[in-house]
Structures are given as structure tokens and as C-alpha cells.
Amino acid sequence: MSSSEEVSWISWFCGLRGNEFFCEVDEDYIQDKFNLTGLNEQVPHYRQALDMILDLEPDEELEDNPNQSDLIEQAAEMLYGLIHARYILTNRGIAQMLEKYQQGDFGYCPRVYCENQPMLPIGKCWRRGRRAADGRSSGKEVGQGGRAWRAEPGYLPGLSDIPGEAMVKLYCPKCMDVYTPKSSRHHHTDGAYFGTGFPHMLFMVHPEYRPKRPANQFVPRWGARQNHQGSQDRPRPPHREGKRGQGPFLSSASPKARALPAEGPCPGEVL
Ligand SMILES: [Zn+2]
């Protein structure tokens, strides 16, 4: 770092393999103590870690102790991550992350019907549960296998801002689902360094960038045919009587319609 190229610690850190989701926090933001309120209680070796992030000269004692230096390095990464989570909720931070989002730096949604929708990093937000009297969450994590976790309302975002709880995930604003990053080099990035509220803050500030919900949804063909009593070639029954939009349980529907199951378009034909 002290080479002739004079790369700042922040640029060096953000340029490391696996740190591509981070944006470079303005040093002015870090130098404002108000923005760092409370972090000294969360991060060990806070003072030295902050000096490292800001490229201030370390103590001679620290330079002579490589073991201590490693600890400071780890603390600096944690401190930067927690500062980063706050910074990306500011106008300047949102603008920087928006640029990365538009460039596809966070990857694209793997869902076919999302049609390569860019995604945004998000911290842990998939813990289900209702707000308890003490303000903490109850419940359990869901859907850990396969695709990922579905972001549902009713979460307690506060829990996710604690480092070490979960690795970063990616939020697709089109299908509103959450995915594990494709590359394993992002599987060790703490989700707390992005927070749970970031994508929603971004679209609240810039609603013009919120994509429309996907027009199509996958429906299995095989299952659709099974609904027709297992006969693949059986012609579809005539459309029920009544105006479009009337359900079979409305009083105006004919007795015949009432007897039929809810008949939408054959799911296979939607495709
Ligand atoms: Zn999607």
C-alpha cells in the first residue's frame, strides 16, 4: 500500500477479488464522526482499524507486531463493511450503487422470466416471524435448499445488520426473490455490510428504476394435463356461462358453472 502507486486502502480493499459488490466510501463520510456513531462498540481495535482505512500512519508498536497487524486488518475490513452499510443509504452511496447496478456488477437474476434483470446485494431479511414484545424476531429460516429464500413482509430487518449472521444475498426487484450469489467468491461476504433495507431505499429514492413485475410465470404442462382427469387428448370442456370475470360461486352463475371447478386458461397454453 505504501508503494509508489499510492493506492488508498479503500481502493485496494474494493479491488480485491470477492469485494466487487462494495463501492468506495467517500473519505469525507468516514471522517465525520457522526456517521460512525456506535461502531466503536462493535469493532475491536476500532481506533487502529479506522486509521488503517484512512491510510494514517500506524503506531510503530503495531508495525513490529505482525500478529497484531493481522487483527487490525480484519477489524478494518469489518469496520469498513459496517460503514459501507450506512453509506449506501445516503444519496451519494445510492448513486454509486445505482451505477454498479446498471452495469450489472451484482449479477443478473437467474429466473428465466426475469430476462436478465440486474440484482442488488442485500443482507439477511428472510427470517420469518412476528415482532415480539421485546422487539426481536421469532420463527425460523425457510427454504435453505435450492433456489434461495423468499423475501416476505413481516421480517425484522434489525437482526440482519449484525455481522456474522449471514452472507450477502442478491435481491431481484422484478420477481422480488432473493438468491445466493452465483460465484463462490461472494459467499464469504457478510450481508451486514449491505443491510436489509438497501434495495428498498434505492427504489424509494429512485422509483423510476424499479422494474415492472414479470409478465409470465412458469406453470408445468404435465400438471395441467393431470387436472383434465389424466387424458391428454381429451377436448377442453366448453367455457362456463356468465360474463368474463365472474367466479363460479357468484349468485349469477348458472348451476352448471357452479358445478365446474374454477376453469382458467389451460396452464400449458399460457406458455
Ligand atoms: Zn428475478
Lowest mean per-residue pLDDT among 8-12, 114-118, 152-156, 239-243:
152-156
Helix (H) or strand (E) holding 69: helix 66-87
Separation of CA 82 and ligand 1 centre (Å): 27
Position 221 scores a pLDDT of: 81
Q: How far is CA 27 from CA 2, 13, 195, in A?
A: 18, 14, 20
User: What pLDDT, in 10s, does the model give residues 173-232?
Assistant: 999 999 999 999 898 899 999 998 999 999 999 999 999 988 888 888 875 555 555 444
Enumerate domains of the chain plus CATH numbers: 9-209 (2.20.25.20)
Specify burial of residue 127 (Cβ count, 10 A radius: 0-12, 13-18, 19+). buried
Q: Residue range 136-140: average pLDDT? A: 38
Separation of CA 182 and ligand 1 centre (Å): 14
Locus of grid cell 493481522: 70
| Cα 100–Cα 202–Cα 28 angle in degrees, nearest 5 | 70
- pLDDT of 103 higher than 50: yes
Position 246 scores a pLDDT of: 41
CA count, 13 A, side-chain hemisphere, 94: 15
| Cα separation, 154 vs 128, whole angstroms | 7
Separation of CA 78 and ligand 1 centre (Å): 30
Separation of CA 88 and ligand 1 centre (Å): 22
Which is higher by pLDDT, 238 or 16?
A: 16
Separation of CA 123 and ligand 1 centre (Å): 17
User: What pLDDT, in 10s, does the model give residues 158-174?
Assistant: 335 677 778 999 999 99
Separation of CA 239 and ligand 1 centre (Å): 34
> Which of 67, 72, 38 has the alpha carbon at shortest distance from 54?
72
Separation of CA 118 and ligand 1 centre (Å): 8
Separation of CA 112 and ligand 1 centre (Å): 8
- Strands, E assignment, the chain: 120-122, 148-150, 169-171, 177-179
For helices 66-87 and 46-53, give the axis angle rounded to 10 degrees. 70
Separation of CA 110 and ligand 1 centre (Å): 7
Separation of CA 120 and ligand 1 centre (Å): 11
Amino acid at 247: G
Position 126 scores a pLDDT of: 53
Alpha carbon 128 to its chain centroid, in Å, reads: 15
Separation of CA 106 and ligand 1 centre (Å): 13
> Which of 201, 140, 144, 143 has the alpha carbon at shortest distance from 173?
201
Separation of CA 9 and ligand 1 centre (Å): 35
Classified as helix, coil or strand, 141 is strand
Separation of CA 83 and ligand 1 centre (Å): 28
Separation of CA 91 and ligand 1 centre (Å): 25
Separation of CA 145 and ligand 1 centre (Å): 18
Mean pLDDT (the chain, rounded): 75
Residue 45 per-residue DSSP state: T
Confidence of residue 132 (pLDDT cuts 50, 70, 90): very low
Position 269 scores a pLDDT of: 35
Separation of CA 170 and ligand 1 centre (Å): 10
Separation of CA 177 and ligand 1 centre (Å): 6
- Strands, E assignment, 198-258: none
Q: Residue range 258-270: average pLDDT? A: 37
Position 73 scores a pLDDT of: 93
Separation of CA 99 and ligand 1 centre (Å): 19
User: What pLDDT, in 10s, does the model give residues 72-81?
Assistant: 999 999 999 9
Lowest mean per-residue pLDDT among 11-20, 99-108, 240-249:
240-249
Separation of CA 243 and ligand 1 centre (Å): 34
Position 225 scores a pLDDT of: 54
Could you tell me the pTM of the whole model? 0.69
